[in-house]
Structures are given as structure tokens and as C-alpha cells.
């Protein structure tokens, strides 16, 4: 546009070349358009939150402890919230967590960034599920970390494939540091890692000197029955656990946490301080007050029931409208269903056709560091009501059928 542009480009770091907008953000504005059914974004449903009560809680915090709430705070997070987080994790069988080892972060997204900063040099390898969370891919790539996807089947990450990948990458001279995994209700696949494999996978990582990063934002959104036991529950020294209030409370507050193995705790917390100084004080106090003064477990139960119904509506609509050549996962929790079309179909250009037909989804390639999975796509059922889910799937079916026939 002007002569200065190339010179300005010279100022960019090599890292900046890897910073890109996620496919989910790409369609964020489009998906807000009137008349479109968005099955794209995994936004939690917030309408059932007790807004008036939250207003009172926020008012009380400001009236009674305003100077603290608006002041800088401890870089590790308030001790009250860290204590409360230990109680939250106890619901998911993590019974030995100490507030000392909890670091409050600006959502688990910032915990992922701090993880990269603490553990990875440029070109170090992080292993992950194929497919995996697009926001994690963006963070890893922005930190110049090489991401290597590992095969997944209907029971989650395949232990043999993990072992093979570690051996093969090391034979190529690569430094493999971390396994990043979303064991329960994976984003985007909806797949859950079986209980049996969880320990097998931790054992492999332990033996090979890898740290497991267990990202569990959807764990409590299991539709039915007892929560899945996180890998961290039995492996306090070998798993760095990430939790978040985004899906069980409110993502706009940007409050998440890391439960860090003792030996890494200090460095992790210092890195958190270097990046965000301190997590937002008012928001931490509001989350603490919400946990203390509201039936938050009842709220989670409401969400579990709501998302179970929405998921069932999506599966029913897929059964009603999709042809036999398309298959999909049936999740036991979380927000997402993952569709597989016949080989050779690319879902990326279908995004446009879908929008013309009044429905938005996320193409599969977005969830792979190497743009694999072109014949897959992600549908989210969290943010739309059952009727709209059916309508969205109904609109999507002819788009996919036409692409398969072409």
C-alpha cells in the first residue's frame, strides 16, 4: 500500500509469521448473521446463569472489598480462589491438590501459552491427538513449537501410535517434550480416551521423559453418570492439569487454572507473572463468591442435562438427514460432534456453500497442524436450541450430499 510496508515487515519476529487467526474466529462474525444457524462456535449456553444474583455478588465485592478487587494481586492467583479450585477438582477425583500448586491463569488458553514458554524451545515437538483443539495449535505454532498429531480411534489416543511417534521423531533427531491431550470429550472430535488407555499413556510418557498436559475444560459436562477420572488423579508428578471456568461458568471472565507438578510449580507461576502480572482480581473474587454463594454444582447439573438434550437432537437430526456415506462420533459429553465424509471430499470450500444454505460449521483441516482431515468437519451443539440444531443439520445435508456426488 505504501513504501513503508516492506520495511515494517522487517520488524516482525520469525515467530510472528506463525501467528494466525483461527478458523473458528474466521467464521465468528459470519455466524452471528441473522437467519444463519451456527453450528460452528463452541460457545457455552449462558442464558441459565443467575445474572441478577451475579450482579449482587459483584456489587457486594466492590462495596465491601473494592480496593482489593481493583488492585493488582498475587501472580499465582488469590489464595481463596486457589483453595476453592482444589474443591472443584475434588469433584473430579483429584483429591490431593494443594492450593500451593495451583496457578490461576487468564483462561486455559493462557495456561497453554505459559506451558510453551516454560517447557519448549523453538522446534521442540509437542505430540497431540489428531484432531485437536485449534486454539492450542495456534498457541503452539505462535511459540514456534512443532506439533505432531498422533492417531486416534474410537477409544481415543492409540498408545502404540504414541510410542511409535516418539521413537520415530527421536530417530530423526527431534526433541519431543510434551503430550497435549484432551482426554474427555475432545474438541473437535467429541471422543473420550478410555480409562484403560489413560494410565497406559501416562506410563509411556513417564518412561520416555515426556510431560503430559491434560486439558480438561469439558470434564464436568459429561451427560450421564460418574465423571471420568482424569489422568492427573493418579499421576501428580507426571501430569500438568489444565482446568477452566469457561464451560462450567462464564468464558468472558477469563479465569482458568493449572495444577502444576511440584517440581515445576515455581517456574510456571513466575512465567504466569511475566505474561499477565496477575490474573484479573475482580473476576477471581467473583468466581470465588459464585462458588461459595451459589449452587454451582446444580448449575453444572443443569448444563449436563441441557447439552445432553442438544447432543441427542443433533444425533437424531444427523440420522434423519445425512446419507449412509457420512459417519459421525457420538460424544458422552462436551460440545462437539465430528463428521467424516468419504475420502476425496474437501469440506473447506463447502463452508461457503453452507453459508449460502444458511448454516455454518468448521472444516476439519482447521484442527490439524498439517491441514489433514479435509473430509471431516466439526458441528457444535452447545449454543443453539434443539429446533435450530435440526434446522441446521437439515440445511447442511444437501450441501454435503451434493459435494459427495460431484
Q: Does 187 bind ligand PMP (CB under 6 A)?
A: yes
Number of residues that bind ligand PMP (CB under 6 A): 14
CA quadruple 304, 31, 132, 260: dihedral positive or negative? Answer: negative
Contact range with ligand PMP by CB under 6 A, out of 7-15, 51-59, 104-112, 287-295: 104-112
**Please, which residue, 135 or 236, has the CB nearer to ligand PMP?**
135
Choosing from 73, 215, 280, 287, the residue that interacts with ligand PMP (CB under 6 A) is 215
CB of 192 to ligand PMP, least distance (A): 13
In the bound complex, what is the minimum distance in angstroms from residue 24's beta carbon to ligand PMP?
8
Query: Would strands 376-380 and 336-340 be described as parallel, antiparallel, or unpaired?
Result: antiparallel
Length of the chain: 406
Residues 119-148 interacting with ligand PMP (rule: CB under 6 A): 133, 135
Of 136, 118, 135, 3, the residue nearest 127 (C-alpha): 136
User: In the complex, what is the shortest distance from the CB of residue 18 to ligand PMP, in angstroms, rounded to a whole number?
Assistant: 19
Query: Is residue 241 at the binding interface for ligand PMP, with CB under 6 A as the rule?
Result: no
Q: Does 149 bind ligand PMP (CB under 6 A)?
A: no
- The residues in 287-306 that bind ligand PMP, with binding defined as CB under 6 A, are none
Q: What interhelical angle do 281-293 and 79-90 show, nearest 10?
A: 50
Q: Measured between alpha carbons, how far is 227 from 93 in angstroms, rounded to an integer?
A: 8
Least CB distance to ligand PMP at residue 99 (A)? 19
Q: Using CB atoms, what's the residue nearest to ligand PMP?
A: 107
Contact 61, 289 (CB under 8 A): yes
CA atoms within 13 A on the CB side of 252: 3
CB 195 within 8 A of CB 332: no
Using the rule CB under 6 A, which residue among 73, 75, 230, 256 binds ligand PMP? 256
Cα distances from 320 to residues 324, 331, 338, 357, in angstroms, run 11, 18, 17, 18
Instruction: Examine residue 28 and tell whether it contacts ligand PMP (CB under 6 A).
Output: no
Contact footprint for ligand PMP (CB under 6 A): 42, 107-109, 133, 135, 182, 187, 215, 217, 244, 246, 251, 256
Amino acid at each position: 500500500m505504501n513504501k513503508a510496508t516492506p520495511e515494517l515487515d522487517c520488524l516482525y519476529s520469525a515467530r510472528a509469521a506463525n501467528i494466525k487467526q483461527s478458523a473458528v474466529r474466521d467464521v465468528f462474525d459470519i455466524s452471528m448473521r441473522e437467519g444463519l444457524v451456527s453450528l460452528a462456535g463452541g460457545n457455552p449456553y449462558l442464558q441459565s446463569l443467575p445474572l441478577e444474583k451475579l450482579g449482587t455478588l459483584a456489587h457486594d465485592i466492590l462495596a465491601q472489598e473494592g480496593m482489593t478487587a481493583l488492585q493488582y494481586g498475587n501472580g499465582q492467583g488469590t489464595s481463596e480462589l486457589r483453595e476453592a479450585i482444589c474443591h472443584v477438582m475434588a469433584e473430579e477425583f483429584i483429591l490431593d491438590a494443594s492450593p500451593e500448586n495451583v496457578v490461576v491463569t487468564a483462561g486455559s488458553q493462557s495456561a497453554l501459552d505459559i506451558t510453551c514458554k516454560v517447557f519448549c524451545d523453538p522446534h521442540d515437538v509437542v505430540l497431540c491427538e489428531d484432531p485437536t483443539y485449534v486454539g492450542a495449535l495456534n498457541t503452539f505454532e505462535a511459540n514456534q513449537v512443532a506439533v505432531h498429531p498422533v492417531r486416534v480411534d474410537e477409544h481415543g489416543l492409540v498408545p502404540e501410535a504414541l510410542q511409535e511417534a516418539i521413537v520415530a521423531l527421536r530417530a530423526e533427531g527431534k526433541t519431543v517434550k510434551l503430550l497435549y491431550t484432551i482426554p474427555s470429550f475432545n474438541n473437535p472430535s467429541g471422543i473420550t480416551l478410555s480409562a484403560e488407555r489413560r494410565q497406559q499413556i501416562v506410563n509411556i510418557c513417564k518412561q520416555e521423559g515426556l510431560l503430559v498436559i491434560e486439558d480438561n475444560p469439558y470434564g464436568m459436562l459429561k451427560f450421564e453418570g460418574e465423571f471420568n477420572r482424569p489422568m492427573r488423579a493418579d499421576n501428580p508428578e507426571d501430569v500438568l492439569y489444565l482446568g477452566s471456568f469457561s464451560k462450567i461458568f462464564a468464558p468472558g471472565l477469563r479465569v482458568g487454572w493449572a495444577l502444576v507438578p511440584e517440581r515445576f510449580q515455581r517456574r510456571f507461576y513466575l512465567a504466569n507473572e511475566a505474561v499477565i502480572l496477575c490474573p484479573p482480581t475482580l473476576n477471581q473474587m467473583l468466581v470465588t463468591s459464585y462458588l461459595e454463594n451459589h449452587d454451582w454444582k446444580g448449575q453444572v447439573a443443569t448444563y449436563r442435562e441441557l447439552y445432553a438434550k442438544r447432543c441427542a437432537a443433533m444425533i437424531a437430526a444427523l440420522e434423519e438427514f445425512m446419507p449412509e456415506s457420512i459417519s459421525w462420533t457420538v460424544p458422552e459429553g462436551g460440545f462437539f460432534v465430528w463428521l467424516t465424509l468419504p475420502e476425496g471430499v474437501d469440506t473447506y470450500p463447502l463452508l461457503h456453500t453452507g453459508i449460502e444454505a444458511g448454516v455454518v460449521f468448521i472444516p476439519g483441516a482447521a484442527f490439524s497442524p498439517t491441514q489433514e482431515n479435509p473430509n471431516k468437519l466439526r458441528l457444535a451443539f452447545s449454543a443453539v436450541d434443539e429446533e435450530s440444531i435440526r434446522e441446521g443439520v437439515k440445511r447442511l445435508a444437501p450441501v454435503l450430499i451434493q459435494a459427495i456426488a460431484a
